[in-house]
Structure 1
Amino acid sequence: MIRIGIGGWNFAPWRGVFYPEGLPQRRELEYASRALSSIEINATYYGSQKPVSFQKWHDETPDDFVFAVKGPRFATNRRVLAEAGDSIARFLDSGVTRLAAKLGPINWQFAETKAFDTADFGAFLTLLPDSHDGLPLRHAIEARHASFACDTAATLCRDRNIALIRACDGKFPEIDLDTADFAYLRLMGTTDLPQGYPDAALDDWARQAREIARGRDLYLYVISGEKPRNPAAALALIERLS
């Protein structure tokens, strides 16, 4: 299964471009979830969301839709990752499992200054449960420091079936290591072209997506870069892969 989407759904420059003129803002998730196959929720990184919000997002989207969800920065932006247990528990108890089968991978994003430390990183991974409220969980690590591009980090993740996110076309190191039975890509280099990328680049990403998804799920999000063009790039990839 290949899931392709964008980050969030409320962004004013998408109105009248991605979203039809006159579409009420309250219906933007409904529209986006029928054009795309996944969305990465970023609001959870910055603060807690209410259980009723997760339930609302679940109810407004199609049965086969999936959300990726960012874990809270309070768990990842800390000197000692091994002390993040309480923050992780609060997040998992916040209502995120109201997404039920629509809950895809949880993205634990580290600061770009956070370097790899074997013991501390390993301890953090043990804090990530395989399930919560009876719901299986998939975890992914977005490391933004080049020191994570090593065999030791890959082995620690592989032992727990945790993906290392591949951040592409941006300012962060591109860590391309297979560590789980799913893959998670973030394309971060869109420009002000109509579809965000040249046709040749979109063709190449579609080819790579097919190769990566052989025998496993792929979650691919067009994030950052020239953000107004991200939905067009995601739609162009969906078209190529349909």
Structure 2
Amino acid sequence: MRIGTSGWTYPEWRGVFYPPGLAQRRELEHLADRLETVELNASFYALQRPGNYLSWVRRTPPGFCFSVKGWRTVTHEHRLVGVQDALAAFFASGVLDLGDKLGPVLWQLPPGLRFDAEVLARFCALLPRTTTAAAELAASREDAPDATTAPAGVEERPLRHAVEVRHRSHENPGLADVLRAHGVALVTADTGGRWPLLQEQTADFSYVRLHGSPELYVSGYDDAALDDWAQRVRAWSAGGWDVFVYFDNTMAGRAPFDALALAQRLGR
């Protein structure tokens, strides 16, 4: 079980979770001293540089884990279609430099993208299942002006993927069938009812995103809600799944405190 937050650079956290006067460059270290994992979301908005990933590795303790949010060019611009080149660019940008601190890759689908079993299956089939396969995919892109070349000498490790859906058409039994066939996790996302809350387990790990309820990205979780989520996480863990939980209710500064409270309930 790993409990963390979605990102760590938020003005609302300063002087509240982060002590007054703490330099912004030290915020990741402050978080990593208290939680076991964080979800990288800068990688969603733009390709990062290897130096960024290497810096994040250096600034966190052994055993820390980064989940990485997949590039929105794949999910929101191309909408999962014709994305091999974009996937290659993403994995060539330095993701693999996280080494043994690399956790699952999250693919967040746009709210307007309807369920299409064939499109989703083709996308899942493209996803590399090991770090060496990801390096080979990265190296397959000849023209990469906005990304680095694939890192050499990548140590082979399993590479996990999770998909978060945001359209009601995904409330379809076929969704779990597709993801399970490819070993891709279906994200359990609490969004205050705005998007589907799906809890079916489709891979060897669980991926949970708690966005806030009832107000998306803002509302905190009270004791009863945290007790409820702790019970679910324990059940998934007891069922043999690794569990990753990220609080994305970041806008009012609640995420790190809710993460700490859930971690405490789980004995982390």
Settle same-fold status: TM greater than 0.5: yes
* Residue of structure 2 equivalent to 1:217: 242
- Corresponding residue of 2:223: 199
Could you give the per-residue CA deviations for residues 17-68 of structure 1, whole angstroms, max 9, x where no partner exists?
1111221111110110111111111110010100011011011111111111
Could you tell me which residue of structure 2 aligns to residue 126 of structure 1? 125
- The answer to whether the 8 A contact 2:6-2:38 is kept is yes
Poorly superposed stretches of 4+, deviation over 6 Å: none
CA drift at 1:227:
3.8
Amino acid aligned to 2:171: A
Map 1:16-35 → 2, pairs under 5 A: 16-35=15-34
Q: Determine the C-alpha separation between the residues in 1 that align with 2:45 and 2:86.
A: 13
Contact 2:220 2:249 in 1 (8 A): no
Residues 61-76 of structure 1 aligned to structure 2 (within 5 Å): 61-76=60-75
* Compared CA separation, residues 18 and 80, structure 1 to 2 (3 A): closer
Shift of 1:222: 0.8
**Distance of 2:45 and 2:78 partners within structure 1:** 18
Q: Distance in 1 between matches of 2:34 and 2:93?
A: 28
Corresponding position of 1:172: 195
Report what 2:59 is aligned to: 60
| Distance apart, 1:150 and its partner CA | 2.0
Confirm or deny that 1:230 pairs with 2:255. Answer: yes
Q: Deviations over 1:164-191 (max 9, x none)?
A: 1011143211122110000001111257
Paired letter, 2:161: H
CA offsets 1:100-159 (integer angstroms, 9 cap, x no match) = 111111011110010011111111111101013333210000111122222222111111
Cα pair 1:92 1:132 within 8 Å, conserved: no
Taking only the aligned residue pairs, the percentage that are identical comes to 43
Change (3 A) 1:79 1:28: closer
Residue 226 of structure 1 deviates from its aligned partner by 4.8
Alignment partner, residue 111 of structure 1: 110
TM-align CA RMSD: 1.7
**Which sections of structure 2, spanning at least 5 residues, go unmatched?**
133-155
Moved more, 126-135 or 98-107: 126-135
**Partner secondary structure for residue 67 of structure 1:** strand
CA distance in 2, matches of 1:230, 1:132: 30
Moved more, 217-226 or 10-19: 217-226
Measure the CA separation in 2 of the matches of 1:5 and 1:145.
25
Distance apart, 1:9 and its partner CA: 1.0
> Is 1:139 aligned with 2:161?
yes
Q: Distance in 1 between matches of 2:250 and 2:29?
A: 24
- Whole-Å separation in 2 of the counterparts to 1:177 and 1:210: 15
Which one-letter code corresponds to 2:229 in the other structure? W
CA contact 2:7–2:39 (8 Å) conserved in 1: yes
Q: Can you give the 5+ residue segments of structure 1 that lack an aligned partner in the other structure? A: none
Query: Greater shift after overlay, 126-135 or 230-239?
Result: 126-135
Of 167, 171, 179, the residue aligned with 1:149 is 171
Using the alignment, how far apart are the partners of 1:146 and 1:62 within structure 2? Answer: 40
Contact 1:97 1:135 in 2 (8 A): no
